[in-house]
Amino acid sequence: MIDARRIDELREEVGCDDLAEVVGLFCEEVEEVLATLDRSATVEQLHFLKGSALNIGLSQLSAICLAEEDRLRDDPQSRPKIEDIRAAYFKARPALLALL
């Protein structure tokens, strides 16, 4: 669910205080996108979520977004599984915050 090594890398790169700020900004941005994400989600929105999640260490969320991004590219008429994306984020969020 969470790549603890990535969190450790970020902590080393930016320090503990700045890591908390980075994670806070990540959560704000992702929650803004999730609030507007619907069945007509775009490849760009999914790509943003995928990359942001991977950068912060949420590998499961990133993998789900990648799969949905690929599916939407292959079939633009398909509808992404928004519930799965939201569930993965809100499941990982408490664990992510606990690592700070």
Q: Structural domain boundaries of the chain? A: 4-98
pLDDT of residue 41: 81
Report residue 69 as tokens: 């991004």
Span 63-81, pLDDT tens digits = 999 999 999 999 989 988 9
Please state which CATH number belongs to domain 4-98. Answer: 1.20.120
pTM for the complete prediction?
Answer: 0.92
Distances (CA, A) of 31 to 10, 76, 82: 21, 24, 13
| Model confidence band, residue 26 (pLDDT cutoffs 50, 70, 90) | very high
| Model confidence band, residue 39 (pLDDT cutoffs 50, 70, 90) | confident
Residue length, the chain? 100
The helix (H) or strand (E) run that includes residue 25 is: helix 16-36
pLDDT of residue 6: 96
> Among residues of the chain, what percentage have pLDDT more than 70?
100
Instruction: Count the Cβ atoms, other than its own, within 10 Å of residue 46.
Output: 25
